[in-house]
Amino acid sequence: MAYSDKVIDHYENPRNVGSLPKDDVNVGTGLVGAPECGDVMKLQVKVNPATGIIDDAKFKTFGCGSAIASSSLATEWLKGKTVDEALAIKNTDIVSELSLPPVKIHCSVLAEDAIKAAITDWKSHQTPAAATEEPKKAQES
């Protein structure tokens, strides 16, 4: 199977490898995997609370070159985007950019799922005040 130059570049020179502090309320972590092929992808985003823009994105991926390339590309695309813009990234965009062969499309699906999971996790950290206010309101009534 021939990989595109972009896949090879992202595999040999992955961008944004690493981790962000998971206890930071502005960081969301998505961990996804595909048992049928053994790929596991952890993707994290750090959202600026004042602007709602993703300031940083990191990944760690265990898997094939296409999975690593999909993760690397996703982190590049996430930086500077709003959360809504990030959620608009589709696996088909990744497939197109990297020219992934059909047998490797699942890697782009993992990347899209990891983005969604990271943003969902980030959102879960953004409403603790609202969650603690609800019981107080119930007690007052």
Active site residues: 37, 107
Q: In this structure, what token pair is assigned to residue 50?
A: 């004042």
Contact 40, 33 (CB under 8 A): yes
Question: Are residues 47 and 83 in contact, defined by beta-carbon separation less than 8 angstroms?
Answer: yes
Read off the tokens for 127.
Answer: 């409403």
